Amino acid sequence: MNDSTLSIRGLTHSFGDRRALDGVSFDVRPGRLTGFIGANGAGKTTTMRAVVGVMRPDAGEVTFGGAPLTLEVRRRIGYMPEERGLYPKMRVADQLVYLGRVLGVDKAEAERRAHALLEDLGVDDRADDVLHTLSLGNQQRVQVAASLIHHPDLLILDEPFSGLDPIAMDAMAERLRERAAAGVPVLFSSHQLDLVERLCDDLVLIHQGRIVAAGEAQALREERAGRRYRVAVDGSPTWRPDLIGATVLEADARGTVLELDEATDPQAVLAAAQAAGPVTHFSRALPSLSDLFAEVTR
């Protein structure tokens, strides 16, 4: 295990009779963006709150680089809570400096970083305004800056992209990639599956308090691709193979998606397609993240 992997083992927690987390275990590896996906109430926020120490789980263990999350370790986490958390009546730059100082950055350095982050996120012109006078999207950018002010060694972000416009989303994605490239493990939750699909190296899927899939995004999709193939024949968009052992799942302008039986050789399908015309596309059809999500949460 690498020195700065966040390991979550057997997190279990109940709210009254309702079991919110049931043996949640997964790793967040350094240098990678890990997307945390699940339906509302699946346990994402509870897991994240347990990691940062805001909530104490009934059972389970969280370690960072093999060490338990003591206060000193927790102070190196950049955390963005789901419902956000800034002082509505405090000026933007002031609160970044304050949070920076609470997290151990000295005052002058915190001021420098606050302005640099605000500029980076395109809200530096609002630095001296009181937070609640900013639009929700801009408040969100300030929130992002707040989680980065102390150059954290680990990022735990609950829905960091919600409420951001596409430009801010790109800026945010850029910041996260930058941190990951610097060797920081980044865990973030999101409902925007296409975004997670585009951005993430690793995925963790949670359903009703249980982890249903976790690992490299590409591997997870390939694992679940099964014997599904997409074939496109030039000039014949709705080409259908005359083969036994292949079921057509869908056929549209992008080609035909087939589910092959165990006994069917994919090469035979390719040959049949080539016989029908020039083949412009032939690949295993990896499930999209939404397919994957729908499948595992079924």
Partner 1 sequence: MTSRSDLVRIVAGREIGVKLRDKAFIASTVVFVLIIVAAIAIPALISGGTSTYTVAATAEARPVAEAAAAIGGADERPPGLPRADLTIVDTADPVAALGDESVDAAVSLDGGVVVLTGRTGVAGDVRNLVTAASSALAAQAVADEAGLTSDQVAALTSPPAPRVDTLEESPDFAVPPELLGMVFGFLFYFTVLTFGIAIAQSVVEEKQSRVVEILVAALPVRWLLAGKVLGNGIMAIGQVILIVGAGLLGAQLTGASDIVNQAIGASGWFLAFFVLGFFMLASVWAVAGSLAARVEDLQSTTLYVQLAVMIPFFASVFLLEESPARRVLSYVPLSAPLIMPGRVASGDAAAWEPWVALAIVAATAVALVGVGARLYAGSVLNTSQRMKVVGAWKAGKGR
Residues forming contacts to partner 1 in the complex (CB under 8 A) are 49, 52-56, 71-72, 74-75, 77, 79, 81, 83-90, 94, 98-99, 101-104, 146
Radius of gyration of the chain (CA): 23
- Closest CB 262 distance from partner 1, rounded Å: 51
- Closest CB 158 distance from partner 1, rounded Å: 10
What's the rounded Cα separation, in Å, for the pair 219 and 210? 20
- Closest CB 138 distance from partner 1, rounded Å: 16
Q: Tokens for 237, please give them.
A: 């968009």
Nearer to partner 1, 107 or 254 (CB): 107
CA 222 → CA 21, 211, 212, 283, distances in Å? 28, 18, 16, 12
Nearer to partner 1, 96 or 292 (CB): 96
Nearer to partner 1, 94 or 223 (CB): 94
Query: At 9, is the secondary structure helix, strand, or coil?
Result: strand
Place of tokens 């024949």: 233
Q: How many CB atoms lie within 10 A of CB 116?
A: 14
- Closest CB 117 distance from partner 1, rounded Å: 15
**Torsion angle of the four alpha carbons 152, 156, 161, 162, in this order, in degrees rounded to the nearest 10:** -130
Nearer to partner 1, 68 or 235 (CB): 68
Nearer to partner 1, 67 or 102 (CB): 102
Cβ pair 132, 91 in contact under 8 A? no
Nearer to partner 1, 86 or 204 (CB): 86
- By the 10 Å C-beta count (0-12 exposed, 13-18 middle, 19+ buried), 47 is classed as buried
Closest CA to 52 of 187, 239, 220, 251: 187
What's the rounded Cα separation, in Å, for the pair 298 and 295? 5
What's the rounded Cα separation, in Å, for the pair 93 and 124? 9
Nearer to partner 1, 114 or 260 (CB): 114
Cα angle value 162/164/165 (rounded, 5°): 135
Cα angle value 57/60/66 (rounded, 5°): 120
Nearer to partner 1, 52 or 273 (CB): 52
- Closest CB 99 distance from partner 1, rounded Å: 7
- Closest CB 132 distance from partner 1, rounded Å: 9
- Closest CB 16 distance from partner 1, rounded Å: 12
What's the rounded Cα separation, in Å, for the pair 109 and 144? 18
- Closest CB 46 distance from partner 1, rounded Å: 12
